[in-house]
Structure 1
Amino acid sequence: TLLNGIKKFKKAAQELRRGEVLSGQDAFLLWDTYGFPLDLTQLMAEERGLQVDAKGFKNAMEEAKNKSRSAQTKKVGGAIVMDADATSELHKRGVSPTDDNYKFIWNKDHDTVVKAIYNGEYMNNTSVGDEAGFILETTSFYAEQGGQISDTGSIMCSSGSFKVCNVQVFDGFVIHIGSFDGETGEISVGNKVTCRVNYDRRALIAPNHTCTHMLNYALKEVLGPHVKQKGSIILPEKLRFDLPWPAIPPNDLRETESIVNKQIEDEMEYPDPVRVVAIGRKVEDPLADPDNKEWSTISTEFCGGTHISNTRDAKTFAILSEEGVARGIRRITAVTTGCAVEAINLAKDIDLQISEVSKSEGITLEKKVAGLRNLLNAPTIPAPKREKFENRVSKLQDQIRKAQKKIETAISDGKAFCISLIGVGIDPAAAREAVPKVMEKKGLPIMVFSKDAVTNKALVYAGVPVNGEMSKGLDIRRNLHRSKQYINNPHAGYCVS
């Protein structure tokens, strides 16, 4: 992907003269298709005396986001957007903005009244097969805002169930978008209906939202109070946090993660629904004594989202990645609850595997290290752990390179053969694979000794290249036969390659 991206950049740059501008569309293509951050493209362009249309890049990204949102909306219930004319019509009809304070009440159905039905134009009723949006008098659904994705669920009526897949708010009017999920169903303006939110799904979103605030606080503690949030997205499976900052070192990520987990361990309470989040204390406390330095140790921000009642409900927190998404903008992706537990358990498993592989030698070590490299590509490894794992695996690779260097040195010194002790146990298959591989690569006669400390058995395997100056004069059968006296088994057999 990287090489293809470089080729794509070179092709676009070759069509430009020094001082000209690489289009924002080309820069966005490099980001969207090949993963090139804007700042990397700008750096490559500067080396060729070119500029990059950053504004065009931003516009292309925004256009792509709009297309993505539109595609997602169509997929889950229709691309229904209310413009100023649509909301103005509601005001003319005497419809008041939706009262959504009931969104803070959990695990309870909510009775309400349908005030309007809209799908690009206003309708008096809707039935099976129609995609539509309901404006209700009151609602317990959370509409997408502040980075938090909307609730999903159902609107129940006497004739069926309307599946709500998307909830948006326009000028204070909350519209519930979806369609009937059965073979029957009809709802008219003025009908009494019941909101049934999918609280199990919200229970996955809430800890991610609360931990977004805790992450913001932790970053200020580690990087400094001038850290500013550039944006966030809170989903059931993860949270994303953007900030204008240089690349954040692994040690700072590790400390940030630790601070959030400390707040989870401290079981800090989130008070009754408020528009200000003060995790760990009631909002009235800092208001009553604003100069108290204690308030600098808690997360306090404006927010109208749905949250957990106690930080312990997040269970644990893990940062999965920290990456550049635009020039000067870093994005942190993190998980909580079950997803975080899985990530941490994966890290523990990898830690054990690296320790086990470290006990291997020779060709066995080389094969197992290659497997570890593939394992480290998993996207769900906590970022601070990943850096440590990569360092440990790099040391194992250095160990392999040093062993290969010894073989090369032996060859350069003109030695006719090489004797090695390797950790393949008494597995003849492993020896049969290792010996020809080294012979083909180095053209060197090989004799392998390996033992199994548990069974006190040994294996000797030898190979001589068919061609090559170093093979002349070597009687491999005689050498194998002589080696039996050191194995202390007069009945040992031998195999020759």
Structure 2
Amino acid sequence: MLTGNEIRQKFIEFFESKKHKHFESASLIPDDPTLLLTVAGMVPFKPYFLGQKEAPCPRVTTYQKCIRTNDLENVGRTARHHTFFEMLGNFSFGDYFKKEAIVWSWEFITEVLKLDKEKLWISVFESDDEAEQIWMEECNFPKERIVRLGASENWWAAGPTGSCGPSSEIHVDLGVAYGGDENSKLGDEGTDNRFIEIWNLVFTEWNRMEDGSLQPLPKKNIDTGAGLERVAAMVQGKSNNFETDLLFPLVEAAGKLTSTTYGDTPEKDFSLKVITDHARAITFLINDGVIPSNEGRGYVLRRILRRAVRHGRLLGTKDLFMYKMVDEVVELMAIAYPELRENLEHIKKVVKIEEEKFSNTLDQGIQLVTNEIEEAKKRGENKLSGDVTFKLYDTYGFPYELTEEICEEMGIEVCKDEFVSKMEEQRAKARAARTVVMEKGQDSFIEEFYDKHGKTEFDGYEIVAEEGKLLHVRNIEDNKYALIFDRTPFYAEAGGQEADHGTIEGNGVFGKVIDVQKQKEIYTHTVIIENGEDNLNEGAMFNLAIDTTRRSEIAKNHTATHLLHEALREVLGSHVQQAGSAVSADRLRFDFNHYEGLTEKELEEVERIVNTEIANALPVSIENMTMDEAKAKGATALFGDKYGNSVRVVSVGDFSMELCGGTHIDNISKVGLFKIISEAGVAAGVRRIEAQTGFRAYETVVGTDKLVKKVSKTLKTDVNKLDERSEKLMDEMKDLNKELEALKAKIATFEANSLFENVEEINGVKVLVQDFKDKDANSLREIVDKAKDKLGSCVIALGADNDKAIFAIGVTKDLTGKVKAGDLVREAAKIAGGNGGGRPDFAQAGGKDGAKVKEALEAIKTILVENLK
């Protein structure tokens, strides 16, 4: 019996023998901006199928890691639903077609996998006579086990228009135990769990036009996909994917970590399968650079991780366990994906941090949902309103999907439409709060200009000044103009790099260029005209010259970001990817994916690495090559960036190689000095480093040196002993603070004793209401405690005017049935323009208006008179 690893390997070897080139699995983060994640084996080859790019070779075979979450609720409930799965595929780009695809699939499943021919069924598109004929004549497949199905089952399309074609699917019959009877056929009602699809062969041969008609494609393509988990189940004689050797070791590991045995109950098995499936998805997503967040791919990761953690709770474990599952996944999958071992510690750390965060709130969230469900049932309702589910999500951070799942388990409905409506209402408010200014008509103007004049010739990589013909003039305001020339040396703002500045001169005109923007290869220069506005004539020639000093400073900073990127990967791990940048003349900003703040030691190491390479005077080389050549050389490309067939590769010695369209220096030594000035988080899983280079970095170092000397002088110590002096002063400060707190306690005792003459009785209850000037919250609390100890049964209400209002209220426990400190302080705070609350026996609050303290305390006295009757 073949193992899952053997099936994967034999598939690749089989198609290599048919002259296919093996491509390694692409990332789960696709280059396609229309897709959040890689959902099928054909995703990396989509540009070839759509004719957007020329295929690198005519025949390709892969095993591709994939993620789908469209039916997450079924994962763990059924035998074959997964979030993470592997797709085996063979592809032809204008080479072979139906006959070869069908014959080779038959050969592989019957001769290599040795599946029982008598248990196989085939589906073809309802009008595809050719495919049916090939199955019968070339494979000797019986006509009675070939079923014709409609477009919903056996037709593939890239979209409403474009390439499309029929498909043929191979199914395995598990037998009457899984549905139907002896006469049942593929496609009959009630046989979904009996006939298992294992391989889909798509014949892309048509182009659907706008009017819906079909025209033959000039090149016909083959796109096939076989789910490895399903194939393994059929080969290994398992009706459930989770019981194959690809998954069952993880089921057992989940059982050990949660003290659960597989097979005990369907409910426990469900939870073990969820943990197993999600552990694979989590591991591979993080390995490919995804970090937990509240949007996009990060939210997919966070959602499935939290779902897995909750199922651990259902199995009775409150310990952190998901990060331990990563070890098991890597051990099982590293044969096919060896890069997992390199990133093991990083993956575990990300999972553990996220698991800790969620575990702290999970129990509270589950209790909140349970309470809301019980309250709804008491009211005779069988559903949770959108108000409730949105409050749980928005106020308490409890995922809607978990609320929905808990409700389903407890037999209550969720008003999803109401929740979605609330979410959209919140988004609309956020959108309304943002002001977006757009220049109307600009897009259509650029299109018309491009059709008339073509693109602007950019020569700025090679030269810093040249002559250009003025093609378009538009007055923006006063003496500010938008100018377009036929050619320019000015670099337009792009890739985070600021635009060049400089001058234009000619025809009696002199102007300063303060910005350059590029749209569809048209460079629009924003220019302040200082002389000769009347001579800005279209067709005239002008000398365009960039500010070379500014260009040089920007180039230093830009090249330094390449070193910084590589240094971060060395120190933090290969998961680090650029998430944004801003390069100007005075500093650089670099955003990158990482799950926690950098330690002082890590920052020092990053800075040391960059400065070491600067000192090594590495040469900077720039080459233009094809994208495939760049990838083969190992150049780093940025996710989300669009690259043409020809790309620009910037190499800093052997240290760094990136695809980049920016301007750079020719030797890294020209950077001079690199200094990190700040590091902070800017979004979930995204950190930001700001740094300076060259003379500005030197000025920062000098400024820091001056500050150190000034502080040393103030503290009357030598610079070299500043740390010792600082530590000594901190110890002294701690001792003084202890003395201060002790004195405050004595003062509070004294004040409490002196206040006893102000105690009055309201209906037999001792009450002390007192206002102060300039008392802090801790002092008020001290007085409350002392007074309660001294008076026994009592109510103490204190307030202080510190410009703002502070209140502290204490009620001895024997009186909390009549008055509650939290209720009293809330009323006082309202009067002073604030809010607060607390326990029935003690509460604190604040307000904006300290002048209202006396009025608020009088209001409390009135409430006490009423409540203590």
Task: State the match for 2:734 in structure 1.
Answer: 401
Query: In the alignment, does 2:494 pair up with 1:151?
Result: no
- Give distance in 1, aligned partners of 2:618 and 2:435: 36
Aligned match of 2:448 in 89, 99, 110?
89
Matches within 5 A, 1:200-239: 200-239=549-588
Give, in whole Å, the separation in 1 of the partners of 2:722 and 2:680: 18
**2:472 corresponding residue in structure 1:** 116
Alignment of 1:20 with 2:378, yes or no, is no
Name the amino acid aligned to 1:249: T
Alpha-carbon distance between aligned partners in 1 of 2:669 and 2:727, rounded to the nearest angstrom: 37
Query: In terms of mean alpha carbon deviation, does 161-170 or 110-119 score higher?
Result: 110-119
Per-residue CA distance 1:427-457 (angstroms, 9 max, x = gap): xxxxxxxxxxxxxxxxxxxxxxxxxxxxxxx
Q: Distance in 1 between the 2:541 and 2:736 partners?
A: 78
Kindly indicate whether the alpha-carbon contact (under 8 Å) linking 1:139 and 1:195 is maintained by their aligned counterparts in 2: yes
Q: CA deviation at 1:355?
A: 4.4
Q: Which moved more, 1:316-325 or 1:342-351?
A: 342-351
Q: Deviations over 1:297-320 (max 9, x none)?
A: 511101111112221211111111
Q: Are 1:136 and 2:488 an aligned pair?
A: no
Matched, 1:335 2:695: no
Aligned-pair CA distance for 1:209: 0.6
Equivalent position of 1:420 in the other structure: none
Specify the alignment match of 1:263 in structure 2.
613
Deviation at 1:200, TM superposition (A): 1.8
SS of 1:167 mapped into structure 2 = strand
Query: Which sits farther off after the overlay, 55-64 or 298-307?
Result: 55-64
SS of residue matched to 2:512: strand
Instruction: Classify 1:63/1:322 alpha carbon distance in 2 versus 1 (closer, same or farther; 3 Å).
Output: farther
Deviates more, 1:336-345 or 1:397-406: 397-406
| TM-fit CA distance, 1:240 | 0.8
Task: Quote the offset at 1:348 in angstroms.
Answer: 2.4
Q: Return the match for 2:655 from 288, 298, 301.
A: 298
Change over 3 Å in CA distance of 1:96–1:338 after alignment to 2 = same
Deviation at 1:185, TM superposition (A): 4.5
CA distance in 2, matches of 1:21, 1:250: 39
Shift of 1:61: 9.0
Contact kept, 8 Å, 2:619 with 2:653, in 1: the verdict is no
Q: Which of 545, 560, 575 is the aligned partner of 1:196?
A: 545
Say which SS state the counterpart of residue 663 (structure 2) adopts.
coil
Matches within 5 A, 1:233-382: 233-246=582-595, 247-271=597-621, 273-274=622-623, 287=633, 298-357=655-714, 359=716
* 2:554/2:584 contact within 8 Å kept: yes
User: SS where residue 188 of structure 1 aligns?
Assistant: coil
Helix, strand or coil: the match of 1:225?
A: coil
- Please give the per-residue CA displacement for 1:390-442, whole angstroms capped at 9, x wherever unaligned: 99846532233336657999999xxxxxxxxxxxxxxxxxxxxxxxxxxxxxx
- What secondary structure does 1:141 align onto? coil
Residues 325 and 56 of structure 1, relative CA distance in 2, 3 Å threshold:
farther
Shift in Å at residue 204 of structure 1?
Answer: 1.9
Question: How far has the Cα of 1:187 moved from its partner?
Answer: 1.9
Structure 1 vs Structure 2 CA RMSD: 4.5
8 Å Cα contact 2:502-2:513 kept in structure 1: yes
- AA at the equivalent of 1:309: D
CA contact (8 A) 1:212 1:241 kept: yes
* Kept in 1: contact 2:607–2:675 (CA 8 A): yes
Mapped to 2, the partners of 1:197 and 1:400 lie a distance apart of 57
> What amino acid maps onto 1:254 in structure 2?
E
- Is the aligned partner of 1:98 residue 2:456? yes
1 CA distance for matches of 2:570 and 2:674? 17
Asked if 1 retains the 8 angstrom alpha-carbon contact of 2:620 and 2:653, the reply is: no
The Cα offsets for residues 118-152 of structure 1, whole Å up to 9 and x where unpaired, read as 469xxxxxxx9454322211110000001001011
Asked whether the 8 Å contact 1:147–1:232 carries over to 2, the reply is: yes
Given that residues 450 and 522 in structure 2 are in contact (C-alpha distance below 8 angstroms), is that contact kept between their aligned partners in structure 1? no
The whole-number CA distance in structure 2 between the counterparts of 1:225 and 1:208 is 23
Per-residue deviation, 1:339: 1.7
Cα pair 1:110 1:195 within 8 Å, conserved: yes
Give the Cα–Cα distance (whole angstroms) in 1 for the partners of residues 430 and 478 of structure 2: 35
Contact 2:586 2:692 in 1 (8 A): yes
Q: 1:409 to 1:324 in 2, by over 3 A?
A: closer
**What residue identity is the alignment partner of 1:90?**
F
Relative distance call for 1:274 and 1:399 in structure 2 (3 A) is: farther
Q: Residues 350 and 163 (structure 1 numbering): CA distance in 2 closer, same or farther, change over 3 Å?
A: closer
CA apart distance, 1:257: 0.8
Q: Would the aligned equivalents of 1:210 and 1:307 in 2 still touch at CA under 8 Å? A: yes
Q: How many residues align?
A: 319
Question: Are the structure 2 counterparts of residues 258 and 45 from structure 1 closer, same or farther at C-alpha, using a change threshold of 3 Å?
Answer: farther
Deviation at 1:87?
Answer: 2.4
Contact 2:504 2:544 (8 Å CA) reproduced: yes
Maintained 8 Å contact 1:275/1:304:
no
Query: What residue ranges of structure 1 are gaps of 5+ in the alignment?
Result: 1-15, 24-41, 71-78, 121-127, 277-282, 361-371, 373-387, 413-497
Q: TM-score, normalised by structure 1?
A: 0.54
Paired letter, 1:256 = V
Corresponding residue SS for 1:132: strand
Residues 407-486 of structure 1 aligned to structure 2 (within 5 Å):
none
Q: Provide the residue aligned with 1:171 in structure 2.
A: 520
Residues 275 and 303 of structure 1 are in contact (CA less than 8 Å); yes or no, is this contact kept in structure 2? no
User: Which amino acid letter does the alignment assign opposite residue 466 of structure 2?
Assistant: H
Q: 1:45 to 1:149 in 2, by over 3 A?
A: farther
Structure 2 distance, partners of 1:196, 1:389, is 50
Other structure's SS at 1:226 match: coil
Aligned partner of 2:510 in structure 1 is: 161
Taking a change above 3 Å as real, the CA distance of residues 217 and 349 of structure 1, as seen in their structure-2 partners, is same
Distance 2:740 2:425 in 1: 56
Q: Do the aligned partners of residues 133 and 317 (structure 1) sit closer, same or farther apart at CA in structure 2, a change above 3 Å counting?
A: same
Displacement after TM superposition at 1:202 (Å): 1.5
Q: How far apart, in 2, do the equivalents of 1:165 and 1:22 lie?
A: 50
Deviations 1:192-245 (CA, angstroms, capped at 9, x unpaired): 111011112212211111111111011001001121110001111111111121
Please state whether the residue corresponding to 1:20 is helix, strand or coil.
helix
Q: Tell me, what secondary structure is at the counterpart of 1:301?
A: strand
Change (3 A) 1:116 1:335: same
Flag the structure with more relative contact order, 1 or 2, with Cα contacts below 8 A and sequence separation at least 6: 1
* Displacement after TM superposition at 1:179 (Å): 3.3
**Partner Cα distance (2:562, 2:732) in 1:** 44
CA distance in 2, matches of 1:82, 1:183: 26
